[in-house]
Amino acid sequence: MGTARQDVRLLDGTQIKRGDAVGELHFWNEQLPAIPWSGPGFAWALTMRRQFEHSLVQLAIHAERNGALAEIAAFHGEISFAGPPSRKAKLGSVAARHGFEVVERRRSRPGAIHDFFNSVFILCLIRTFNPAGLTSKSLIRRRYEVWISKRTLIEQYGAFADRTRTRSTPATEPESA
């Protein structure tokens, strides 16, 4: 849980005002699939996608059933990449496939200083948990915020979770003839 650092309006009409309570999403670095030394291939991407979608299903179930999240209208996370600016288009495409929107961040001078030290921290995390992911040792990282409204999360993943549970639950009543 955290608070929004800026006003955000999402495509589904959800409005978040600066200071509103929001859910904060983070990748758990130790749980991410390790990038092979040969680079991330199709198998790695598929594993990453499955883990990500599983987490979103669990979050949707929690958001539907947990009264403590009643005041939360949206969830957001911050993603940073060292690489060409063209990654933003790819990020936008992948994010949209999962119900997220990429929102431009407005940064102050203290925010830029924070970003620099955060980049050092990220570099250390990658070196520790996923050294093959260090294709770029640059401290210059482009940062993006991704947002998903609670409504979109539940619509996309709450329904999916219900279908999955229904399919995997064995029938308990005998069929009638």
Which string of DSSP letters, residue by residue, matches the chain? -EE-SS-EE-TTS-EE-TT-EEEEE---GGGSPPPPTT---HHHHHHHHHHHHHHHHHHHHHHHH-GGGTT--EEEEEEEE-S-TTHHHHHHHHHHHTT-EEE-----HHHHHHHHHHHHHHHHHHHHH-GGG-S---S--EEEEEEEEHHHHIIIIIHHHHHHHHHHSPP-SPPP-
Mean pLDDT of 25-37: 80
State what percent of residues in the chain have pLDDT above 70. 78
Question: In the numeric block, which tokens belong to residue 51?
Answer: 């883990």
d(CA 136, CA 25): 24
Residue 129 within any structural domain of the chain? no
Q: Look at residue 82 in the predicted model and tell me its pLDDT.
A: 61
Nearest residue to 150 (alpha-carbon basis) of 69, 51, 92, 79: 69
Residue 12 or 170, more confident: 12
Mean pLDDT of 109-125: 77
Residue 122 or 167, more confident: 122
User: Which of 9-23, 53-67, 105-119 has the highest mean predicted lDDT (pLDDT)?
Assistant: 9-23
Report how far apart the first and last C-alpha atoms of the chain are (Å, whole number): 53
Mean pLDDT of 144-165: 81
Residue 26 within any structural domain of the chain? yes
Residue 13 within any structural domain of the chain? yes
- At residue 169, does pLDDT exceed 60? no
pLDDT band for position 44 (cuts 50, 70, 90)? confident
Residue 48 within any structural domain of the chain? yes
Domain assignment of residue 60, given as a range: 2-78+88-107+143-164
d(CA 81, CA 133): 11
Residue 44 within any structural domain of the chain? yes
Residue 112 within any structural domain of the chain? no
Q: Which residues contact 41 (CB under 8 A, 6 or more apart)?
A: none
Instruction: Give the tens place of pLDDT for each residue, 121-145.
Output: 877 877 787 777 676 656 666 778 8
Q: Look at residue 32 in the predicted model and tell me its pLDDT.
A: 79
Q: Look at residue 86 in the predicted model and tell me its pLDDT.
A: 65
Q: Look at residue 25 in the predicted model and tell me its pLDDT.
A: 93
Residue 99 within any structural domain of the chain? yes
CA atoms within 13 Å, Cβ hemisphere of 30 = 0
How many structural domains compose the chain?
Answer: 1
- pTM, to two decimals: 0.72
Residue 53 within any structural domain of the chain? yes
